[in-house]
Amino acid sequence: MTFKKRFLSLAVAGCTVLASGGAAMAQIQLTLADIYNEDHSNTIAAHYFADLVDEKTNGEVQVNVFPNSTIGSEREIAESLMAGSVDIAPSGLISRFFPELQILELPYLYRDLEHMQRVADAIAPEIEEIFRSQNAENLGFLFLGPRSIAGTRPIRNIEDMEGFRLRVPELPLYVGMTRALGATPTPVAFNEAYTSLETGVADGAEGEPATLFTQKWYEPAEYVSLTQHIWHFRFIAMNGARFNELSEDHQQAIREAAQEAQAHQAGLFVEFNEEAIEQMRAEGAEIVETEGLEDFAEAVADFQTEFAEDIGPEAVELLELVRAVD
């Protein structure tokens, strides 16, 4: 048994002991796991959610938050949620169990945060149905983005993407997007991205501003070009069997808390991104306002459709639903 699995077993066991510790203690203990550190907007939203659940259930339900990959990687957490050893997990990689959800991360699919929020409202019933098909619940959405590029040379327009070696995750969506933009995908593990920039293996690495700042990729790659190529959702996923064990009142309280946490995080991450950009500028990075983003969007339009078609008709239908939202 790995350390993380032993930790999870001990954590769950500890929660069970707490639950039986008397009337003053919460009667129901839920485990929420995530990969981000305590300062990330997703983790702050998780604690906000936990506090709201406690308040709305009069202490009858307690959500125990385990951030910073304490319980495992995002993939491991998603697997644990589906298996039932984790109760709640804000996750993007949960889409590996629901392949059609991958299209929600396609480049230039959303104009801005407000557009994303309208899309979230529009697709929520469809997403709920998809989750329930595999005994899971989607309580709401968290937001990440817009992803941009820290590079050793600036991306002022789409012509600057030609031949640009972009470090990307080893995922077909990111590799295909990079090629569609005329750049050269350079798949490198996340924890090796800094070195790849430092040694010249890659010309740039992409991520949301907070990631570019906290990982300090702007140090070896001093230009931060605001290409804003991907906004994406994380799903506030809950194990279906665990959710169904709860009373209707507790289910309602958890859903309400998730919706309020969703709104809270949306405000936070805008603020965090702005702060990250200003901090990188203060530390010597040149912030580049990339021009002609409509050219970038046009370049990936066919890729969006082809990517959905490769997954199947459910993905095509979901993409059409998203595209229909003004």
Tell me the pLDDT tens digit for each residue of 71-98. Answer: 988 889 999 999 999 999 999 888 889 9
In angstroms, the CA 85 to CA 277 distance is 38
140-197 per-position pLDDT tens digit:
999 999 999 999 999 999 999 999 999 998 889 999 999 999 999 999 988 899 999 9
pLDDT at 18 exceeding the cut of 80: no
Give the Cα separation of 66 and 37 in Å (integer): 10
CA 260 centroid distance within chain: 18
User: What DSSP element (H or E) covers 317?
Assistant: helix 313-323
Q: What structural domains does the chain harbor?
A: 3-323 (3.40.190.170)
End-to-end alpha carbon distance in the chain: 49
Q: Among 17-26, 28-37, 100-109, 206-215, which is the least confidently predicted range?
A: 17-26
Residue 237 backbone phi and psi in degrees, to 5: -90, 145
Mean pLDDT, residues 283-297? 98
Mapped onto helix, strand or coil, the DSSP state of residue 186 is strand
